[in-house]
Amino acid sequence: MGVSKFRGIIIKESDVGEADKILTFFTKEYGKLHVRAKGARKAKSKYMASSQIFSYGDFVVFTGNNFKSLTQADIIEGFYDIRTDYEKLAYGSAVLEIVDKSTYEESENQEILRLILRTLQNLNKKDSEGRLIFSAFIFKYLQISGYTPELTSCVECGEEIDLNNLYFGIEGLLCKNCRNNSSHSTAVNYAAVYALNYIIDSDIKNMYNFKADKNTVDNLRKMADIFLENLDLNLKSLELLENI
């Protein structure tokens, strides 16, 4: 039993009891944590504003026997523009759901927290390109998780890739022959592969420092959807993205 402090972001909130919430944090110090915020759903609760997803700040919790209870919250960033824009909210929610469903409790990974924050900071900007940001996030997140696409030769047969006939499958680039034997692949353009190389090779701080035309963004999104199958997640938030 005792008090602990951490800096983190709320990646999920669930109602429990008459007025409480269970908050899922991704933190710098401890990785993913589940904390109860007592009375957070009450109109006059001091935790009402600080117990919502996307809230990033410094938090204090009391740990008892088999439970953690929120005792203090100082919000650094609430990512307001994400909350008030349907498209940004859909992409931001998908980012948080991916992290929630593919990480374990109290498994520290500061690179993931850096990536979450960098992604939301860019998504929060005026006129941000949600599809591009979301696609880049998927590739960098999977790279951190141990999945990096093969981009130099065919992932199936090892043959050199024809730059005029590029195809992308669940593990990376495919030649034309191997593409015909794959049930999960898509034709892509060279600009999208070039952009993907930039994302993979860049530090998190710089990974969003590029622009792409609509066709390239479309290609990156298709590639990201296929590559995301490596995590085998049932993402509810992707339903919000179907018409975006």
Report the pLDDT averaged over residues 1-17.
93
Per-residue pLDDT reduced to its tens digit, 210-239:
999 999 999 999 999 999 888 888 888 877
Could you give the C-alpha distances from 87 to 150, 155, 240, in angstroms and in order? Answer: 30, 34, 8
**Predicted model pTM:** 0.93
Contact 136, 220 (CB under 8 A): yes
Using DSSP, state whether 74 is helix, strand or coil: strand
At residue 175 the predicted structure's pLDDT band, cuts being 50, 70 and 90, is very high
- DSSP annotation of 231 reads G
CA angle, residues 217, 218, 224, in degrees to nearest 5: 85
Per-residue pLDDT reduced to its tens digit, 41-97:
998 899 998 999 999 999 999 998 888 999 999 999 999 999 999 999 999 999 999
Per-residue pLDDT reduced to its tens digit, 114-154:
999 999 999 999 989 999 999 999 999 999 999 999 999 99
Q: Tally the residues of the chain.
A: 244
Domains in the chain with CATH codes:
2-78 (2.40.50.140), 84-241 (1.20.1440.120)
pLDDT for 244 equals 65
| Cβ atoms within 10 Å of 231's Cβ, excluding its own | 15
Supply 97's token pair: 């759901």
Could you give the C-alpha distances from 56 to 37, 76, 104, 137, in angstroms and in order? Answer: 15, 6, 20, 18
Contact 117, 204 (CB under 8 A): no
Per-residue pLDDT reduced to its tens digit, 12-51:
999 999 999 999 999 988 999 999 999 999 988 999 989 9
CA angle, residues 117, 122, 128, in degrees to nearest 5: 155
Q: Which of 227, 228, 224, 229 is nearest to 212 (CA)?
A: 224
Contact 42, 48 (CB under 8 A): yes
Helical axes 190-201 vs 214-227, angle rounded to 10°? 60
Number of H helices, E strands in the chain: 8, 8
